[in-house]
Amino acid sequence: MAKKASSSTRKTKPPPAESGAFLWTRKDLVGLDELSAEEIVHILDTAETFKEVSTRSIKKVPALRGKVVALMFFEDSTRTRMSFELAASRLSADVLLFTSRGSSVTKGETTIDTVRNVEAMGVDIFVIRHGQSGAPHMLARKVAASIINAGDGQHEHPTQALLDVFTIRQRLGRLAGLKIAVVGDIAHSRVARSNIIGLRKLGAEVVVVGPPTLVPSAIRAMGCEISHSLDDILPQVDVINMLRVQFERFSSNLFPSVREYSRLYGMNADRLASCRKDVLIMHPGPINRGMELTSEVADGPNSCILQQVTNGLAVRMAVLYLVSRGRT
């Protein structure tokens, strides 16, 4: 996939002009499902131009000066929240941070009332992390400000998938024709869903890997293959995206033990040896070291886990910038 503009041509003057004839019109980013391939590529290209900002001695541009970005984290998060906070700061926005712990949510205030009250203070962009699938979609219908989905329940995590796709494109130079394995608890993963949607739209093949209790057969309708054997698919793929194992899944009998899971679906040096030499190992974090990934794999040369985090910043700057223009 050709990049629409090399970063060097724009290095000196972010915020970037709209590339080519393409015009971004959306005020919200609630999921990748709603986006066209062109829109996804446009976000990636815009992120490319923002990457450079982080290399300056003064890491700031005035793109969102005078705008207010409220980070509404109804569910816990470390890297997504900090990444959005830093992204908004670098764009010179005023940033409000909300976490549900210690807020009126504990007094029974509904999500919509909470957001409407904050909106009444004059917010331009809401970044929403919520435990319920569809919460950002509900809010996008009810509030005038922009809504960015920072992860909703088990539904979508669009900026995570965008930074994953961005990182693959950066490392391997393209997406079309690549084969990507997403491994683990597909059923409960918003990262998996957004990745499948984004990768398919950009022409990559996706195979989801895990036990049938964590990989619903109906996920085929999203355009991916299903495999229950990690060993079978390792030699075929260009990228392996390992999802975090959620310990709370044991209690619901979705798999018998950590030990068994790790034996069947954990990535280790032996398994890495059966992969292509330049295979890319990804993980959305936080990692359970020794369970889904051994340290030698997580920290080895095939891993791009920290690069993903770095790229997340540029991608989130691009998304904040684009939705702020989409609403005018």
| Interacting residue ranges for other proteins, rule: CB under 8 A | 33, 110-112, 130, 132-135, 137-138, 152-156, 187-188, 190, 193, 216, 218-222
Minimum distance, C-beta of residue 74 to other proteins, in the bound complex (Å): 10
**Rounded to the nearest whole angstrom, what is the least distance from the CB of residue 317 to other proteins in the complex?**
26
Looking at the Cβ atoms of 120 and 218, the one nearer to other proteins is 218
Q: How far apart are the first and last CA of the chain?
A: 30
Shortest spacing between CB 214 and other proteins, in angstroms: 12
Phi and psi for 322 in degrees, rounded to 5?
-65, -45
CB 319 to other proteins: min, Å: 20
* Cα dihedral 127→130→134→135 (10° resolution): -70
| Shortest separation between residue 130's beta carbon and other proteins, angstroms | 8
Q: How far is the CB of 203 from other proteins (least distance, A)?
A: 20
Comparing CB distances to other proteins, the nearer of 53 and 187 is 187
Strands (E), the chain: 68-73, 94-99, 125-130, 146-152, 179-183, 205-209, 225-227, 239-242, 280-282
Residue-wise over 74-86: b if at least 16 C-beta within 10 A, else e?
A: bbebeebbebbbb
Q: Which is nearer to other proteins, 133 or 310 (CB)?
A: 133
* CB closer to other proteins out of 217 and 328: 217
Residue (61 or 135) nearer to other proteins, CB: 135
Buried residues in 272-304 as b, exposed as e (16+ CB within 10 A): beebeeebbbbbbbebbeebbbbeebbeeebbb
**Given the complex with other proteins, which of 71 and 219 has the nearer CB atom?**
219
